[in-house]
Structure 1
Amino acid sequence: MGAQLRVYRQKIRSAQTTKKITRAMELIAASRIQKAQARVRASEPYSRAVTRAVSAVASYSNVDHILTTEPEKVTRAAVLILSSDRGLAGAFNANVLRQAEELTALLQSEGKEVVYYLVGRKAVGYFNFRKRAFEKEWTGGTDSPEFDTAQEVGATLVERFIQDTAEGGVDEIHIVYNRFVSMITQTPEVVRLLPLEVVEGVETPGEHDLLPLYDFEPGVGDVLDALLPVYIESRIFNAMLQSAAAKHAATQKAMKSASDNADTLILDYTRLANNARQAEITQQISEIVGGADALSSSR
């Protein structure tokens, strides 16, 4: 009985130590999520403004540009996967990697070769463990993304997009990331970055509406050359910020669940320890009473 009681007490101390760690991580994630949400909100006006500018150029010009023109045949597609550098975030990384696998299966079923670009150590570890090839990786800044990283990622992807497929270029670029919906919900999402799909800023004019007139200087092609890389960078940076906010929210939720489970374990082991202690006391009393009876009988 004594050995069993020691085991229960050791498990209680272990659960209490784990609870202190998970509780501290929960509080850290809660403090970071506010900053991450503020950064997401701060990036949205710029992203919307760039989107409206690109919408105007793409909608009210008749110039065929490589970044807005659908290729006749798509042979190779690039997939940018945004994961995190650290774990302990529940199903955060598993969801985005599962979504990437589903996208890969879809693209391959359409006869497209898929090449990967990875952000975050978890995605890199996932591909290295399975000995799967990828083109380039960016790690070390997923908790607090920097715009310089988004610029580098955007420049790399645009360079590959304008490159001929025979020389290693791609015809499509997709991004897979977790979108922050709320503190409870983080949704994996797939967005096709290139060829450009403008989804806002253009409404069908009515019968008596006048279409706006635009004059582009120095030219439509030059404006698109300048605007679209900026648009891609802003979309990637916004996705990185969304992923960071979703990761902190997922960490807070996971650590809250771990702390609650630790409380449950402590309660269960405390009851078991009390039962074991009571059984040990009962056994000792029985032995004392039995010994006293034996002495009295021998007299």
Structure 2
Amino acid sequence: MGAQLRVYKRRIRSVTATKKITKAMEMIAASRVVKAQRKVAASTPYAQELTRAVTAVGTGSNTKHPLTTQAETVVRSAVLLLTSDRGLAGAFNSSAIKTAEKLTERLEREGKEVEIYIVGRRGVAHYNFRERKITESWGGFTDQPTYADAKKVAAPLIEAIEKDTAEGGVDELHIVFTEFVSMMTQTALDDRLLPLSLEDVAKEAAPQGEILPLYDFEPSAEDVLDALLPRYVESRIYNALLQSAASKHAATRRAMKSATDNAGDLITSLSRLANAARQAEITQEISEIVGGSAALADASAGSDR
């Protein structure tokens, strides 16, 4: 076997092994997308009822709360960026990071200080590599986030917005995550999470002119808001974590499918080259045999004379 043919066969074996790996990763990601979608659907009723409860308290009383009160002058803003712990997800992380950077630039142009909070090792690595300050970060759960993870992320953010800016607190909170639209479409977007706009929440809770019931609150509307608003923020962050997880798995599936298809095309190309090398080798051997036979025939004819 010629040296060139051995090289082609070795490359074909290598690419075939890689194709098996990417195909397995594609199937795993597809399974995880379905599970993540189910979690999003399962969390929706709780989020909807919690939104209705917050709206009922906010619109049914004159209660003011730090999480619903807009500062006259916004001094400091917090940005929560949701990325993944792992790569191999196409443009998933880079799109979210670019959206966060654009948001940060806009807030800084408005004269606001920006504090960055990051979920996911990929986002942390990006900011650390560029020596940018990270106020707080979390990781290790982005593939399968739980409500406990959302509570862990929400706690310091709620504490920061309830604290006065002179003491290191923030006036508003923005969240950057990737919305799962479909298996083929995932969109990185930013949303202002706090302070909560009760008008927007009311539209979300009672669409198409639905009238919300009136309630009496015990012990008081203030106490009810104190209990409900942190849960509302946690549910919003949990939903964003689930959306990002589903988007990441969909992006991984798409990237691995592309890699598998490319590996198949490369194997086909290498097989053609190997066949051409084999044909050239056979042709050369036949030529050598024919040449040798002719030389022997000439030698025999010379000896007969």
CA distance in 1, matches of 2:298, 2:102: 81
Contact 2:50/2:228 (8 A) holds in 1: yes
Specify whether residues 201 and 81 from structure 1 end up closer, same or farther in structure 2 by C-alpha distance, changes over 3 A only: same
Number of the residue aligned with 1:292? 293
Residue range with higher mean Cα deviation, 193-202 or 270-279? 193-202
Partner of 1:34: 34
Question: Could you say which residue in structure 2 is the equivalent of 1:64?
Answer: 64
- Residue equivalent to 2:150: 150
Q: Given the two structures, how large is their TM-score scaled by the length of structure 1?
A: 0.94
Deviation at 1:98, TM superposition (A): 1.1
The answer to whether structure 1 residue 91 and structure 2 residue 91 are counterparts is: yes
After superposition, give the CA deviation of every residue in 1:124-145 in whole Å (9 maximum; x if it has no partner): 1111111111011111111110
1:83/1:288 CA distance change after superposition, 3 Å? same
How much does 1:261 deviate? 0.7
- State the distance in 2 between where 1:53 and 1:222 align: 13
Q: Which residue of 1 aligns with 2:103?
A: 103
Q: Deviations over 1:229-276 (max 9, x none)?
A: 010000001111111111111111111111111100000000011111
In the TM superposition, 1:1-299 aligns within 5 A as 2-198=2-198, 199=200, 200-202=204-206, 212-298=213-299, 299=302
Kept in 1: contact 2:206–2:212 (CA 8 A): no
8 Å CA contact retained: 2:173, 2:194: yes
Runs of 4+ in structure 1 off by over 6 angstroms are: none
Task: Tell me which amino acid in the other structure corresponds to 1:201.
Answer: A
CA RMSD across the alignment: 1.8
CA distance, structure 2, for counterparts of residue 124 and residue 210 of structure 1? 44
Offset of 1:215 from its aligned partner?
A: 2.2
Amino acid at match of 2:228: L
Distance 1:144 1:61 in 2: 38
Residue type matched to 1:131 in 2? E
**How big is the shift at 1:203?**
6.3
Distance 1:32 1:212 in 2: 39
Instruction: Provide closer, same or farther for how the CA distance between residues 50 and 121 of structure 1 changes in structure 2, counting only shifts above 3 A.
Output: same
* Farther off after superposition, 125-134 or 230-239: 125-134
Structure 2: distance between partners of 1:152 and 1:116: 16
Distance 2:212 2:32 in 1: 46
Counterparts of 1:151 and 1:22 in 2: how far apart (Å)? 34
Query: 1:30-83: CA deviations, max 9, x gaps?
Result: 222221111110000000111111112222322222111111111111111111
Unaligned segments of structure 2, at least 5 residues: none
Distance 1:204 1:239, change over 3 A: closer
- Structure 1 unaligned residues grouped into runs of 5+: none
Identity of aligned residues (%): 60
Using the alignment, how far apart are the partners of 2:58 and 2:172 within structure 1?
Answer: 18
**The residue matched to 1:156 in structure 2 has which SS?**
helix
**1:77 aligned counterpart, secondary structure:** strand
Deviation at 1:179, TM superposition (A): 1.1
**Residues in 2 aligned to 1:61 and 1:295: alpha-carbon distance in whole angstroms:** 111
Q: Is the alpha carbon distance of 1:211 and 1:94 closer, same or farther for their aligned partners in structure 2, counting shifts above 3 Å? A: closer
Residue 69 of structure 2 aligns with an amino acid whose one-letter code is T
| Alpha-carbon spacing, 1:296–1:128, altered in 2? closer, same or farther (3 Å) | same
Does the 8 Å CA contact 1:56/1:201 hold for their aligned counterparts? Answer: no
SS in 1 for 2:196: coil
* Deviation per residue, 1:195-240 (Å, 9 max, x gap): 10243125697xxx98854322222222211111010000001111
Superimposed CA distance per residue, residues 85-136 of structure 1 (whole angstroms, 9 cap, x where no aligned partner): 1111111111111111111111111111111111111111111111111011
* Structure 2 CA distance for aligned equivalents of residues 112 and 195 of structure 1: 15
Write the distance in 2 (CA, Å) between the matches of 1:51 and 1:45: 10
> Which AA in structure 2 matches 1:196?
L
Q: Which one has a bigger Cα radius of gyration?
A: 2
Does the CA-based 8 Å contact 1:59-1:202 persist in structure 2?
A: no
**2: distance between equivalents of 1:181 and 1:202?**
23
| Paired residue total | 296
Q: Tell me, in whole angstroms, the C-alpha distance in 2 between the residues paired with 1:150 and 1:213.
A: 30
What secondary structure, in the 3-state scheme, does the structure 1 residue paired with 2:85 have? coil
Tell me, yes or no, if the aligned pair for 1:118 and 1:136 is still in contact at 8 Å.
Answer: yes
Are the counterparts in 2 of residues 174 and 194 from structure 1 also a CA contact under 8 Å? yes
Deviation at 1:169, TM superposition (A): 0.8
Q: Which amino acid aligns with 2:293?
A: A
SS where residue 176 of structure 1 aligns?
Answer: strand
